[in-house]
Structure 1
Amino acid sequence: MGWKISMVALACAFGATASVYAQVQGVTDKEIVLGVITDLSGAVAQYGKESRNGMQMKVDEINAQGGVNGRKLRLVVEDNGYDPKKAVLATQKLVTGEKVFAVLGHLGTATNMAVLPFLIENKVFNFLPQGASKEFYDPPNPYKVALAPSYRFMATTSLRYLLEKKDYKKIGVLYQDDDFGQDVLAGVELQLKADKKSLVEKVSYKRGATDFSSQMAKLRAADCDLVIVGATLRELVGSVLEAKKIGFSPAILTTAAAYSQQVPALGGRSMDGIYASSFIPLPYNDDPNPAVREYAAAYTKRFNESPGLYSMYGTYTVDSFAKIAAKAGKNLTPETFNAAMESTRLEPDNFGNPGFVVTKNDRLAVKRIRMFQIVDGKWRPVSDLIETAAHSN
């Protein structure tokens, strides 16, 4: 009789466990399903491919070691073409079709802005999106887990750094005409207001533009000695080359969105001297850190190209997710994952990537940036880590 009761109890317990698995989107007893939305065909497809590759390489490493509490990670990748409308369709497919537990490393500020309300409504984590907007972490929400300070506050911090080094007199801005570019512009204007300065010129361009002749002519006519370029990879290179073509040589400050090894690779020595802010270091094959060199060698062997910044973003994102999911334990739910996240402090890793800290009222994982400058064709650090005013108005 006793064994029958025990068997019944065991069956009930098994049934309850199976019921929990069935009720938790993206989680079974064998796997955790994760969505990836990135650009594989648009203006920043190189970044998107790097990010996807970095994520997949880390997922394969984790799965080869047994996964997370016995569950394998499975990535479902969708292309947003760097287009908010495509991002919405991709998100709907991942959330309602693939039933993902979280979306990891979604690339693009405007694309993220377009889908964030839908993710929150459906209780799916937007985990370490590869964009920088204050809305990604403020106001706080359990399903917001932001990677970086907003472009506004990175622009404010990096401009303040340059103005402390040199008193630039005539400052102009070239910015992408979308949420990302507007955020950069707002950050510049915020810092100039604090310094009792004003812009002498501001010009915009449409996402994907290739001709910057009119914009650079206006900035040259205003005699700018410093131009902040709120652009991504190709647009930064195109605009700087246009400036060189017309004999216009101001100091150039760009954002983390254009902090990429492709900038000097595509633009050549014309890119030397450009400043940018970021926080995760580029994984160069000749890095003095042996862990970075080993990572770069493994990546290059697998994908037949050197890793880039977004490769490291992808690796960092999956690694952080897996460590938190492991802390959440076998009973993985959005609630247990969030509780583990809010009670866990991840220290900087062996690559030199930053630590990870998120609380109930602070959904921004990384709050400090470092200044870099292109010297002899490579981005080199020129500052220590600098605190940003990430929660200012």
Structure 2
Amino acid sequence: MRRVGLLAVVLAFTVTACGKGGAEEEPAKGSGEQAVKTGPGASADTITLGYLPDLSGVFAPNGKSQMEGANLYWDAKNKAGGICGRQIEVKVQDTGYDPQKAVAAYQQLSGDVIGLGLVLGSSIVNALLPNVQQDQMFLNFAGWTSDILPSENVAIAGTTYDIEAINAVDFLMKEHGVASGDTIGHLYFEGDYGENALKGSKFAAEKHGLEILEQKITPADQDMTGQVSAFKKAGVKAILFSAAPPQAASLAGLAASQKLDVPIVANGPGWTPQLLTTPAADAMEANYFVVSSMAPLSVQSEGVTKFLSEYQAKYPKGTPSSNGSLYAYAGAQIADAALTKACENKDLTRKGVLDALHSLTALDTGGTVAGTLDFSDPASPPGSLVYIAKVSKDAPGGLEALGEPAQAADAEGYSF
């Protein structure tokens, strides 16, 4: 018994020192049905997921909305019995959209979770990825940069920013008269998000004889006066936007005041319905579009209808968002599918969940994400389709879908 007690102390010290949750547990011995193998973040009655949203930085409105969607899904799942006879527990740490703060937040919760149900931001994921890979965890990425490929640890809900941008250019040429020889402005964040979208716009522009006028900014830049003036001087026929909602409001409002009456097409993170409460609301309704794999809430699919009904019941005064609460809801659907498959495989270790994720080849989210999702090849995004939506004050979430999800022909020839 002294040896057992000493061993327990040593193991406890090791877990505390390394912060990785310790060695994986072996399945229980005995007759009957084979026990489920477990590891960090999985006990006999609980599965714990970590969430690292931005609750205080530039994407805070989306981050708060995302936690509504996550809690909505897991509360309902727990009421229905959970997964593998276990309740789902969610542990949350705010990153403030700051990579250094995110690393510290990860260290706080990493030893206690089986995987990360949501991490918001490309720069955040890149800062965490070495530790996530070492810990063999899956990570649901609230972002869509293809620069993260081919990491087998990262799950993306749909396609990537560069593919979105290729589809945006295709939309502008087909629906808004942009033609060879024209100039398109591209306002984007420095770093993995904006610069990944820029790769897509430049690829499409080269194919069609277009010019891209680049305007690079940082999250600290709030006033887009100089950028709008540059676009107006160049006579741009349209603007692509790959930044955050605060910059979107400034861009749309200033473009309207300077009589720059051109369509603006944003990647998914460039929209939140709270923009409709700003002075730029009318300008956005007139000229602002969003391209994303996440379904606009006007879509009458089974998954979106179910989400909206549950959301309105739980948050009667809330504002649902396709890139916020619906994204996290869809991310929870992905995590649910991977955890359920891991349970069927009798392996609720971190590696077991990763293997289960990559066995999903045609995950149907009921339309919360465009198309079906194939996670078998980490070198390719799991989806290829996008929605184009227009801002509308009358639509749930502020976006009205323009047709069914599709993929531009140019995107089929794009190499990651």
Which TM-score applies when normalising by structure 1? 0.86
State the Cα deviation string for residues 341-373 of structure 1 (Å, max 9, x = none). Answer: 333332241657643321145563322112112
Q: Distance in 1 between matches of 2:310 and 2:143?
A: 26
Q: Distance in 2 between matches of 1:250 and 1:391?
A: 27
Q: Distance in 2 between matches of 1:227 and 1:365?
A: 28
5+ long unaligned stretches in structure 1: 1-9
Matching of residue 171 in structure 1 with residue 184 in structure 2: yes
Residue 72 of structure 1 is aligned with which of 74, 87, 105? 87
Residue correspondence of structure 1 range 214-363 to structure 2 within 5 A: 214-266=226-278, 267-272=280-285, 273-283=287-297, 292=304, 295-303=307-315, 304-309=317-322, 310-329=324-343, 330-344=346-360, 345-349=362-366, 354-362=371-379
Deviation at 1:307, TM superposition (A): 1.5
- In structure 2, the residue corresponding to 1:281 is in which secondary structure? coil
5+ long unaligned stretches in structure 2: 1-26
Deviation at 1:315, TM superposition (A): 1.1
- In structure 2, the residue corresponding to 1:386 is in which secondary structure? coil
- In the alignment, is the contact (CA less than 8 A) between 1:259 and 1:278 conserved in 2? no
Q: Distance in 2 between matches of 1:342 and 1:39?
A: 27
Inter-CA distance 350–228: structure 2 relative to 1 (3 Å threshold)? closer
Q: Distance in 2 between matches of 1:241 and 1:358?
A: 40
Deviation at 1:292, TM superposition (A): 4.2
- In the alignment, is the contact (CA less than 8 A) between 2:256 and 2:283 conserved in 1? yes
Map of 1:148 onto structure 2: 158
Q: Distance in 2 between matches of 1:73 and 1:54?
A: 14
Deviation at 1:374, TM superposition (A): 2.2
- In the alignment, is the contact (CA less than 8 A) between 2:330 and 2:368 conserved in 1? no
Deviation at 1:69, TM superposition (A): 1.0
Q: CA RMSD of the aligned region, Å?
A: 2.6
Q: Distance in 1 between matches of 2:192 and 2:363?
A: 30
Map of 1:6 onto structure 2: none
Residue 72 of structure 2 is aligned with which of 50, 53, 57? 57
Map of 2:217 onto structure 1: 205
Deviation at 1:26, TM superposition (A): 0.9
State the Cα deviation string for residues 43-95 of structure 1 (Å, max 9, x = none). Answer: 11111111111111111111111111111111101111112221221122221
Deviation at 1:197, TM superposition (A): 2.4
Higher alpha-carbon deviation: 152-161 or 299-308: 299-308
- In the alignment, is the contact (CA less than 8 A) between 1:140 and 1:360 conserved in 2? no
- In the alignment, is the contact (CA less than 8 A) between 1:34 and 1:104 conserved in 2? yes
State the Cα deviation string for residues 280-334 of structure 1 (Å, max 9, x = none). Answer: 22336xx756874564344234333132121111111112211221222243123
Q: Distance in 2 between matches of 1:11 and 1:274?
A: 57
Residue 48 of structure 1 is aligned with which of 54, 63, 68? 63
Q: Distance in 1 between matches of 2:328 and 2:64?
A: 10
Which TM-score applies when normalising by structure 2? 0.81
Q: Distance in 1 between matches of 2:89 and 2:291?
A: 32
Seq. identity, %: 20
Inter-CA distance 342–87: structure 2 relative to 1 (3 Å threshold)? same
Residue correspondence of structure 1 range 361-372 to structure 2 within 5 A: 361-362=378-379, 364-372=381-389
Inter-CA distance 64–82: structure 2 relative to 1 (3 Å threshold)? same
- In the alignment, is the contact (CA less than 8 A) between 1:233 and 1:257 conserved in 2? yes
Map of 2:24 onto structure 1: none
Q: Distance in 1 between matches of 2:128 and 2:168?
A: 29
Map of 1:190 onto structure 2: 203
Inter-CA distance 85–19: structure 2 relative to 1 (3 Å threshold)? same
Map of 1:134 onto structure 2: 146
The higher-RCO structure (CA 8 Å, 6+ apart) is: 2
Deviation at 1:32, TM superposition (A): 0.9
Residue 133 of structure 2 is aligned with which of 114, 120, 129? 120
Q: Distance in 2 between matches of 1:19 and 1:379?
A: 44
